Amino acid sequence: MRESNWQKSSYSGATNECVEVRTASDTVELRESDEGHLVLRTTPTTFAALLHALKAGEFDRHA
């Protein structure tokens, strides 16, 4: 995997407060746009599992 440009979440709209993601070497990197120096690195497999869990609502909280 080559390094790619940061991509903003489609939910962020025109604001700069969002989650960004990119590929770099053999990892996927995530950061918050307003804290660009803090980067979370993970494997593509783990990132795919996270996305699957988020879409399935596994992290939703019910009051």
**Is 63's pLDDT higher than 70?**
no
The reported pLDDT for the residue numbered 1 is 56
pTM: 0.74
Write out pLDDT tens, residues 2-23: 678 999 877 776 666 788 999 9
Q: How far apart are CA 22 and CA 27, in angstroms?
A: 9
Write out pLDDT tens, residues 19-60: 899 998 899 999 988 888 899 999 999 999 999 998 999 988
The reported pLDDT for the residue numbered 46 is 97
